[in-house]
């Protein structure tokens, strides 16, 4: 992955957040990041009634977040990477929150920590993620990163699904016989 778009930092300061959305190059050094960006804040229940595709949900991504994000701000802002604080993806297990990220153009999520169910939904949906903020410096320096390296610490099944770009791609290859199971099927189960 090469950085071709912008990076959106979900900071607590609404003025800094709005400035980013308005296209300003602002320093977020020392700014506090929002704790627990909730899946309900990522995509509203009302938006979910419209459909479940990225094209439908992308414009609604983060609408009304911190009372400063407006309809289609993220997608129109050309953001490719989003950066959050701890407990990113808390709240309900709304799978469409991942679809909304994709529809808004987000190709990488960087956060201090992720809620487990949301992290699994990112694996299944094919959205790369990491807790390594050094990735931002590397991307901004022009490095082309292999996002598969972000998944090395995941359990075997999640690592295999993530490496293929999501559950649909993984399952399709598995059914076509292009992949084997992610686990050793010859080993006896532990008791």
The predicted-structure confidence for 129-142, as pLDDT tens digits, reads as follows 999 999 999 999 99
**Cβ-based neighbours of 72, under 8 Å, separated by 6 or more:** 58, 59
Give pLDDT, residue 190.
67
**Percent of the chain beyond pLDDT 70?**
98
Please report, for the chain, the start and end positions of each structural domain, with discontinuous segments joined by +. Answer: 6-144, 152-182
Q: Cα–Cα–Cα angle for 104, 107, 16, nearest 5°? A: 65
Is 191 a residue whose pLDDT tops 70?
no
Average pLDDT over every residue of 123-132: 96
Q: What is the pTM of this model?
A: 0.92
The model's confidence at residue 185, banded by pLDDT at 50, 70 and 90, is confident
The strand ranges marked E within the chain are: 6-9, 79-84, 108-111, 129-130
Give pLDDT, residue 92.
84
CA distance 170 to 89: 23
Task: Name the CATH superfamily for 6-144.
Answer: Aconitase, domain 4 (3.20.19.10)
Is 117 a residue whose pLDDT tops 80?
yes
Return the CA Rg of the chain: 17
DSSP 74: H
Give pLDDT, residue 189.
66
pLDDT in tens, 39-87: 999 999 999 999 999 999 999 999 999 999 999 999 999 999 999 999 9
CA distance 148 to 151: 6
* Sheet of 6-9, strand order: 6-9, 79-84, 108-111, 129-130
Whether residue 124 contacts residue 96, with contact meaning beta carbons closer than 8 Å, is answered with no
């Amino acid at each position: 992955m090469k950085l071709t778009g912008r990076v959106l930092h979900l900071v607590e300061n609404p003025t800094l957040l709005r400035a980013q959305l308005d296209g300003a190059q602002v320093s977020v050094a020392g700014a506090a990041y929002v704790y627990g960006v909730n899946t309900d804040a990522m995509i509203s229940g009302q938006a979910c009634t419209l459909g479940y595709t990225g094209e439908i949900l992308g414009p609604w991504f983060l609408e009304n977040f911190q009372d400063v994000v407006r309809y289609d701000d993220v997608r129109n802002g050309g953001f490719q990477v989003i950066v959050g604080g701890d407990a990113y993806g808390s709240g309900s297990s709304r799978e469409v929150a991942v679809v909304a990220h994709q529809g808004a153009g987000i190709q990488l999520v960087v956060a201090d920590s992720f809620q487990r169910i949301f992290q699994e939904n990112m694996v299944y949906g094919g959205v790369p993620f990491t807790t390594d903020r050094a990735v931002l410096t590397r991307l901004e320096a022009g490095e082309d990163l292999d996002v598969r390296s972000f998944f090395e610490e995941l359990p075997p099944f999640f690592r295999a699904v993530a490496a293929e770009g999501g559950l649909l791609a993984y399952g399709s290859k598995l059914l076509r016989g292009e992949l084997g199971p992610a686990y050793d099927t010859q080993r006896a189960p532990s008791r």
